[in-house]
Structure 1
Amino acid sequence: MRLSLHSDYALRILMALGATGDLMTVDEIAGRYGVSRNHLAKVAQRLQGLGYVATQRGRGGGMRLTHEPAAINVGAVVRAFENLDNFVECMDPATSACPVRGACGLQGALGGALAAFLGHLDGFTLADLLPQPARFRALLEGA
C-alpha cells in the first residue's frame, strides 16, 4: 500500500509547521522539500478546510497550525486524505461486481489489514513525528 501524494504532502506541511511554530508560505515549504508548489497549495487549502491550519493573507502572511502538534492525530489526517472506503473494489457493496463475492475471504483479510494500519496510525500524533523539532527545523532549513 502506498499513501497518495496528497496524504504525504499533508503530513509534510503539518510537520514543517509543527517544527517551526511560525507562519510559513506554501512557496517556502515547497522549496524546502523540493516538491511541486501547485500540488502543495491544493493540499494546504484542504488542510485549511479541515481546520488543521489557518492562513493569513498579505505581506508577512502564510499558514500556521490551529492546534498544538500533540492534538493532531496522524490516523485522522490520513483518513481525511485517503479514499479508504474502496480499498479494493469488492469492499464497496454498491459497485462491486465480483463474481466470487461472499465466497471469498479477501475482503475480510484486507479489511482487517486496513483496520490494523489505521489503528496503528491512530496511536501517533504530530508531536510524535517531531521528537526533535529543533533538529527537524534545522534540516528543513538546510543548516
Structure 2
Amino acid sequence: MHLMKSTDLALRLLMRLAVVPPDTHPDELPTTRGVAEAMGAASTHMAKVVGKLQHLGLVQARRGRGGGLVLTPAGRVASVGAVVRTFEGSGDLAACVDGEDPCPLNAACRLRSALRAAQEAFYASLDQLTVEDVTAAPTGPLLLSIAMGRP
C-alpha cells in the first residue's frame, strides 16, 4: 500500500508539531511555509494539508505576526489510523470498476474482498497508535533536533 503525498505530509506535520515545546514563544512557532520547506513540499500543498487538519480540529493555525502552527490537545491524542483514513479515503485498493474496461470478474471477485480486508487490517493496526505514541522517545528528541537544525 502506498500513502498519498498529502497523507504523508499530514502525519509528518502532526509529528513535527507534537515536539514543539509548550513554552515556545509565539514568534518561534513553526509556520506552514517553514514546515513545507523543511519537508521539501510545496507550500500550497502544505497549506491544503494544514487546512484539512485545522478543519478536523487537530491543528490550530494562527496568522500574522506571532502566528504559526500549534497542535491541539485533540491532535496529540488523534489516532494515526483515523488520520490516514481521512486523507486516504475508503476507496478500493484495486481499480476494479474504474476506467474504460472494468474487470469482468467484478460481480464475483474474491480478490477484491481480500484486498478490502487487508486494507482494513492495515488501518486497524494504525488505530492503536496516537500522535503522542509515534513521537515518544527516541523519535521525539530526534525530530526536535532536526527541527532545530541539529543532526
TM-score (norm 2): 0.82
Unaligned runs of 5+ in 2: none
The answer for the alignment partner of 2:35 in structure 1 is: 29
What secondary structure does 2:107 align onto? Answer: coil
How far apart, CA to CA, are the structure 2 residues paired with 1:115 and 1:17?
Answer: 27
* Count of residues paired in the alignment: 140
Unaligned runs of 5+ in 1: none
The answer for the alignment partner of 1:136 in structure 2 is: 143
The answer for the alignment partner of 1:99 in structure 2 is: 104
% identical aligned pairs: 39
TM-score (norm 1): 0.86
Deviation at residue 13 of structure 1 after TM alignment: 0.9
The answer for the alignment partner of 1:4 in structure 2 is: 4
Amino acid of the structure 2 residue aligned with 1:15: M
How far apart, CA to CA, are the structure 2 residues paired with 1:109 and 1:20?
Answer: 41
Structure 1 outlier segments of 4+, above 4 Å: none
Contact 1:74-1:122 at 8 Å conserved across structures: yes
How far apart, CA to CA, are the structure 1 residues paired with 2:31 and 2:106?
Answer: 48
Amino acid of the structure 1 residue aligned with 2:8: D
How far apart, CA to CA, are the structure 2 residues paired with 1:73 and 1:37?
Answer: 25
How far apart, CA to CA, are the structure 1 residues paired with 2:14 and 2:34?
Answer: 13
- 1:68 to 1:84, Cα distance in 2 relative to 1, 3 A: closer
**What's the RMSD between the two structures over aligned residues?**
2.1
Amino acid of the structure 2 residue aligned with 1:47: L
